[in-house]
Amino acid sequence: MVVAASSTGGFPGWRLFGLILLCMIFARTAAMTFNRIADWEIDKRNPRTAGRHKLLGKGAAIATCLISALLFVGTTFFINRICLLLSPMALGIIFLYSLTKRFTHAAQFFLGLALSVSPVGAWLAVTGSFAWPPIILAAGVLCWVAGFDMIYATQDVEADRREGLRSMVVWLGVPGSLKLAGWLHLGMLLGLIGFGLSAHIGMIYFLGLIPVPFLLIYEHRIARTLDLGKINKAFFETNAVIGLLFVVILVADRIWKI
């Protein structure tokens, strides 16, 4: 959104900003509640997720999912025509992830795909047309999410095997999936660099990317210890910092250019 709105100093106006924010909230709520519904019984048998079904009743989860999905589509109506037309496809992609571990080991890549549509959607909301920069960023996001979800999924490898579920960790084993996650995070870095170059972002952005590989190295070093408590902590902390850093350096770059 910030890069697409470069002609207005990186801010598309409060109305569009609010609509994009609402779309993010509604889409994520719909995706998360659909995931709870799809994995309701499976989560009960997994020690790590055994308490999830107690947070919200199944009927309430179904209602929340449906209402959030409808609100997402309804909100896109007030953005532009292309966002409205593509909104059912966006919902289909984010819902599909929750079902993929039942039939493919590439489940982590489908989660990456689900999150990668976000930058494309934000770009379309501002400009109403496709362009290379958000697509390159989407590829970087796909690699980032698939990689860190492989690390996260090492906590569930035994439970997934017991349930007959599929994932890259089940297929490759923990060492193999961690190695692949490393290559994917290299792809993420290339995607972030490619995004900056294709969108003609300034030096502040590229200087701000310098800590990212070190944060990823830290995450992978923790993952190799196979200490599940540390992995969970490193997973949330590292990726939260990377996400926040990405926003800060983009906003700073736009402000510097004003």
**Domain extents in the chain:** 6-257
Length of the chain as a residue count: 258
Among 7-21, 121-135, 183-197, the least confident range? 7-21
pLDDT tens by residue, 48-101: 777 777 778 889 999 999 999 999 999 999 999 999 999 999 999 999 999 999
Across 24-33, 171-180, 231-240, the highest mean pLDDT is recorded for 24-33
**In Å, how far are 118, 119, 187, 231 from 201, measured between CA atoms?**
19, 15, 19, 33
Q: Which two tokens stand for residue 102?
A: 């039942």
pLDDT tens by residue, 217-257: 998 988 888 777 777 777 788 999 999 999 999 999 988 87
Mean pLDDT over 172-177 rounds to 92
Q: Determine the pLDDT at residue 112.
A: 96
Q: Determine the pLDDT at residue 258.
A: 52
pTM of the model: 0.92
The DSSP secondary-structure symbol of 167 reads: -
- The whole-angstrom separation of Cα 40 and Cα 53 is 7
In CATH, the number for domain 6-257 is 1.10.357.140
